[in-house]
Structure 1
Amino acid sequence: SQNLIDPKARKVVAFLRLIRTTTILRRFPVNHTYVRRLTTMVSSLPSLPSVPGTDPSSCILDAFRTAIAKRVSDALPPLTLEQAYTGVDYGKKGVDFTVALPRFRLPGKPDELAKKILTDFQPDDFVSTITHDKQFLHFQLNTASLIREVLNQIHTLTYDSPTGKPSYGTNTSGAGKKLVIEYSSPNIAKSFHVGHLRSTIIGAFLDNLYKACGWEVISLNYLGDWGTQFGMITTGYEKYGSQEELEKDAIKHLYDVYVKVSKDAETDPNVKVEAAKWFKRMEDGDESALANWRVWREMSVKKYIEEYERLNVSFNVYTGESEVGKEWQDRALERLETMGLISDANGAKLVDLEKWKLGKAVLRKADGTSIYLTRDIGGAIERWEKYHFDKMIYVVASQQDLHLSQFFKMLSLMEFPWADRLEHVNYGLVLGMSTRKGTAVFLDQIVREASSVMHDQMKRNEEKYNNIEDPEMVAREVGITGIKIQDMAAKRINNYTFNWDRMLSFEGDTGPYLQYAHVRLTSMERKNPELIPLPPPSQIDTSSLASSQHARDIAILLGSYPDVVKTALKTHEPSGVVTFAFRLAHAISSAWETLVVKGEEDKEKARARLWLYICARDVLGASMRLLSIRPLERM
């Protein structure tokens, strides 16, 4: 409590409370540890013992859970505080937290244990009621403390964050660790199809998620820029290539060439023979064979960067199969040979993985050219040498489960100590994805069409439309949000059917609905200029919110956001964050009619409600950004 703060520190606390933006904090050198400690001390809650792995300064619900655990461990020796803490879970159906007594494996019946905890119970700043239900104890938090502390923390970590950036929901669990993540990885000269779209969306989420948890993240886009298809394209380009079309849209033109030459190959066997010769020359480093390929690759990457920018995705490194040096592949093969793991089959080299039910894995074709698996192994060795990562994630479709299992097993057999640091994050298929006319699927066609549909919908409300600065940008963002939310709404391993009408609807749990919820929250400050700027948090009286179930529901959801982020890190599931965002949007939607700001005569009540909505906007926006969605302010 404040009485514990020495007079000098109290002055600094008062100063911190008065600062509503981060500009002053950014201008002066700040002792981050000291500020974080003071920020924690600003809380008016009684002090508690610390539990390893918790951080009330970034997740205030940790303090409430610790208070519950302390109550349980004090009543049930020899149970320790840490043991009791692991038993405090989120409750169901209107219950804040629940403790399942049998989980502690203590002597005595659950009823007797419950009685010990309930004896002499007095409500305090943390807990208002405890209910005994068979094997469970249900804890309701002190509503006034909950609302005040949650809003205080969101405000502090959004506007007065030690880092100078909004940091509510982030944590430092990965500090000092390095992640290399490979995702998207389209094939040059083939359409950026829906499988790559899923990898891009899920990968961008994981990229953001690990950064939010303190990891250093290196994102790689490992392009399919090598292989026999380039022999085919080189053969086809001599016949069908056009410099003008190439400059207009390299990816589309090379794809068209590939389709045409592949059709030729169906009737003319010489096409494939010629293509194999071209690729062999490329592998042997023949400059005349590589010249065109280099131009195609560069132009394709340029086009991809534009498409990723539209999706709010960026990569640290564009690499590709072509960049895995032959020496790394040779080193991998030598090591496998030395360990006696390679066998010969008609000139091809393979590794027998039948013992692990992974079949036989081919590493080099009979003509000496490399294949995908060899390049993957060489690439992993090269990345380890370069980055010395703590973890490397491959975001690849579940159709490739066997390939990734073979790849990981071989690194393990090669006895690389870092082999167990590799992880495959897989996902299911997108079914039925095409443009509305049912034509071919290039990503930019899908994005353009989604934008066009949203634009038409927006034009129906002329008054709102005229207030939007850049309607085309807004339409594009809402369309992209629809695509992303449809993709991430269910568990990633599930297949899903691409549905235009559902994806772009404002009804139900859709991307447009989520953007609308954020826009409506953002409009609250514009609609109530007489209340802006709000006074510092210490001068906002939140006691009126304590009698509102809607305010309470919103507050506990807001307080749970840091836990949502931690859970997502364990599961690698974006769906948990999407579910949180919709639950929050629904809770806010339910509150509009009772927690009115405009027209509320009591200014104290109006300010408290507006502050609640501003904090809700900040957290909803943070969850959307974590999902790589740009939250809109008008639409």
Structure 2
Amino acid sequence: MNKVAEIINQIIYQQFNQNVEVNLTRPRPEFGDFATNIAMVLAGKIGKKPHDIAEILKKELENNDLFDSIDIAGPGFINFKVSAKHLSEILDKEFNDRFGSNNEGEGKLAVIDYPSPNMAKPYSVGHLRPGNQGWAAKQLLEFTGWKVITDNHLGDYGTPFGIWVVGFKRFSSEEKLASRGVYELGDVYIKTKAAIKEQGEDSEIMKEAEKWLLKLEQGDEEAVAFSKMFNEISLKHIHDVMNRLKISTDYEYGEAFYAPMGKEAVQKLLDNNVAVQNEDGSIIVPLEEYGFDVPLLVQKSNGAALYATNDLATLLFREKEFAPDKVIYSVGAEQQFYFSQVFAMAKKLGIKTDLYHLWFGVIDQLNEDGTREKMSSRKGVVLMEELLDKAEEKARKVVEGRPDVTEDDIKKISLGAIKFSDFASDRRTNILFDWDNIFALTGFSGPYVQYSAVRVNNILRKERDFSVVDFKSYDFEEEKQVILHLLEFPNVVKVAARDMEPHKIAKYLYDLAREMNRYYEKTRVSDSNDIDKSARLQLLKKVSQTFQNGLNLLGIEIPDRM
């Protein structure tokens, strides 16, 4: 596909002295293999009619033996067909183990912030999407030449810390904590929040919780000991879940790490007249010049830190420590306004780094009456470990009666189903978590795509001892649609990375799986003659590698058996 665009680019430069990007699309097969509207794009630049430009391009393209036919449609669309043999040769030249990758981000550095769960409470389904989307962003950027640093911005500070201490003292014990770990801390938090709601935000419990936060900020020995105890329990749990999700980060600079820097940064903002102290002692950063009537609160009236305090410190630390070209925050849609304020504050401070909020919708589930509602504890599974356990149970049923499928295969199938469902549509939409659909072996699902990849690999495994013969005479006409689809992959990766839209990779892989199913319906591989088999096996190796590269971008592994 790049070769085709390159030839058209050369002709355009020779005929019109213009450097323009030629975008190729795939029309319906009866119209051609590729189409372009470049004649209409050029018309506005050089003052000629699109149809006249298309005629000139058609005449030049007909002189190149790469093209079988060229047709002009409408005011200036150009449709053309390329022989399957030529397409196969183009694919051979472009293909390697990192097929689809590019160097668009070479020399650039990105910091990606994910999954950033809160400490001292069980890892919830609410952090499934931050982890999945953040990991996919990392994979996409690295595959397109970026250097990537990842940071798990742990919620190990703030008012919740005080709530856990107060709750632990009132509702729990060291024995319970030793027995139930993070799940005990989760229950303590819920009980304490319920007590605060019952008694009001100005209750003694809330005041006591805020005192504990201040104690921690002041380095109080007992507060520090509580923080250390909660963190050790929480981190083990978080790491266990992240390992099951097959995600990791380079750093884990939690909010507690940034807290001292946050206070210093706020003071500097005051000293430089960027921030303003209100009569009650609270400190704000006015943002009217960036269209915000509401200022950003960076410190409470009692001197306590806020999310914005720590995010200010985080911005400044990353600038100094990493000097990134881009910082990506993988955080849900509900934080859009907050991050737009934080980014405006960064501009006010003169920070030039591209700050990007990789936001996404919530996870919905179906009620008994068929309506959709955000997944919650009242309706079933919300803890990540429970979700993963249930997914593995579902996967076992999918492969029931298959003794050759290993426990490792089952884990890959279950996790693949969950992750693929996250990329089923544009990340900005809410996703519907439906157990039957995400484990379906037909339709838009992880197992469907994984099964297609496994099927290709099984054929290659079965034929690994086959001696390849010379297949130069093979015309590849039966494989043409598969080859055309493979040639699309590099551009799909390019667009998905540019727009931070991994769902485009998922859609591509699903379409490739469908194309392979159509191919198997009309074409034999293992029981064909040696020339045909040799050609087809070489193409299947490319299909296998493309499945592997694409699924890897989504954090999904291919099982050995299924």
Under a length normalisation based on structure 1, what TM-score does the superposition of the two structures give? 0.81
Structure 1 residue matching 2:253: 3-state secondary structure: strand
CA contact (8 A) 1:249 1:303 kept: no
Deviation at 1:528, TM superposition (A): 2.9
Does 2:351 match 1:422?
A: no
Post-superposition CA distance 1:173-217 (Å, at most 9, x none): 222221111011111123433332111100000011111112111
Structure 1 residues 378 and 436 mapped into 2: Cα distance closer, same or farther (>3 Å)?
closer
CA contact (8 A) 1:225 1:297 kept: yes
Q: Which residue in 2 is equivalent to 1:53?
A: none
Q: Which residue in 1 is equivalent to 2:39?
A: 101
Q: Which residue in 1 is equivalent to 2:255?
A: 321
Runs of 4+ in 1 over 6 A off after TM superposition: none
CA contact (8 A) 2:274 2:285 kept: no
Deviation at 1:540, TM superposition (A): 4.3
Q: 1:620 aligns with which of 547, 553, 560?
A: 547
Q: Which residue in 1 is equivalent to 2:556?
A: 629
Q: 2:521 aligns with which of 564, 570, 593?
A: 593
CA contact (8 A) 1:231 1:277 kept: yes
* Alpha-carbon distance in 2 for matches of 1:610, 1:189: 53
Structure 1 residue matching 2:152: 3-state secondary structure: strand
Structure 1 residues 107 and 183 mapped into 2: Cα distance closer, same or farther (>3 Å)?
same
Of the structure 1 ranges 230-239 and 583-592, higher mean CA displacement relative to structure 2 is found in: 230-239
* Alpha-carbon distance in 2 for matches of 1:116, 1:605: 39
* Alpha-carbon distance in 2 for matches of 1:282, 1:625: 42
Q: 2:134 aligns with which of 190, 195, 203?
A: 203
| Partner amino acid, structure 2, of 1:283 | E
Q: Which residue in 2 is equivalent to 1:370?
A: 305
Structure 2 residue matching 1:363: 3-state secondary structure: strand
Structure 2: state its 5+ residue gaps: 366-373
| Partner amino acid, structure 1, of 2:498 | K
Structure 1 residues 437 and 595 mapped into 2: Cα distance closer, same or farther (>3 Å)?
farther
Q: 2:238 aligns with which of 304, 327, 330?
A: 304
* Alpha-carbon distance in 2 for matches of 1:184, 1:426: 12
Does 2:510 match 1:582?
A: yes
* Alpha-carbon distance in 1 for matches of 2:356, 2:464: 51
Q: How does 1:404-423 map to 2 (within 5 A)?
A: 404-416=339-351, 418=352, 420-423=353-356
Structure 1 residues 293 and 436 mapped into 2: Cα distance closer, same or farther (>3 Å)?
closer
Deviation at 1:354, TM superposition (A): 4.3
* Alpha-carbon distance in 2 for matches of 1:274, 1:343: 25
| Partner amino acid, structure 2, of 1:327 | M
Structure 1 residues 556 and 227 mapped into 2: Cα distance closer, same or farther (>3 Å)?
same
Deviation at 1:70, TM superposition (A): 2.3
* Alpha-carbon distance in 2 for matches of 1:121, 1:492: 40
Structure 1 residue matching 2:72: 3-state secondary structure: strand
CA contact (8 A) 1:144 1:542 kept: no
Structure 1 residue matching 2:40: 3-state secondary structure: helix
* Alpha-carbon distance in 2 for matches of 1:614, 1:358: 58
| Partner amino acid, structure 1, of 2:38 | A
* Alpha-carbon distance in 2 for matches of 1:529, 1:64: 33
Structure 2 residue matching 1:108: 3-state secondary structure: coil
Post-superposition CA distance 1:79-111 (Å, at most 9, x none): 33x22xx13422322332323312112333333
Q: State the identity as a percent.
A: 25
Structure 2 residue matching 1:466: 3-state secondary structure: coil
Q: Which residue in 2 is equivalent to 1:335?
A: 269
Q: 2:379 aligns with which of 438, 455, 461?
A: 438
Does 2:85 match 1:140?
A: no
Structure 1 residues 466 and 244 mapped into 2: Cα distance closer, same or farther (>3 Å)?
farther
* Alpha-carbon distance in 2 for matches of 1:127, 1:530: 37
Deviation at 1:529, TM superposition (A): 4.7
Structure 1 residues 249 and 614 mapped into 2: Cα distance closer, same or farther (>3 Å)?
farther
* Alpha-carbon distance in 2 for matches of 1:358, 1:297: 38
Give the aligned length.
544
RMSD, aligned α-carbons: 2.2
Of the structure 1 ranges 372-381 and 126-135, higher mean CA displacement relative to structure 2 is found in: 126-135
Q: Which residue in 2 is equivalent to 1:561?
A: 489
* Alpha-carbon distance in 1 for matches of 2:163, 2:343: 30
CA contact (8 A) 2:115 2:134 kept: yes
Structure 1 residues 339 and 415 mapped into 2: Cα distance closer, same or farther (>3 Å)?
farther
Structure 1 residues 242 and 170 mapped into 2: Cα distance closer, same or farther (>3 Å)?
farther
Q: Which residue in 1 is equivalent to 2:157?
A: 226
Q: 2:219 aligns with which of 261, 264, 285?
A: 285
Structure 1: state its 5+ residue gaps: 1-60, 159-166
* Alpha-carbon distance in 2 for matches of 1:121, 1:446: 56
Under a length normalisation based on structure 2, what TM-score does the superposition of the two structures give? 0.91
Deviation at 1:372, TM superposition (A): 0.7
* Alpha-carbon distance in 2 for matches of 1:267, 1:559: 62
Deviation at 1:581, TM superposition (A): 0.4
Q: Which residue in 1 is equivalent to 2:118?
A: 187
Does 2:10 match 1:70?
A: yes
* Alpha-carbon distance in 1 for matches of 2:82, 2:178: 63
Q: Which residue in 2 is equivalent to 1:5?
A: none
Of the structure 1 ranges 450-459 and 522-531, higher mean CA displacement relative to structure 2 is found in: 522-531
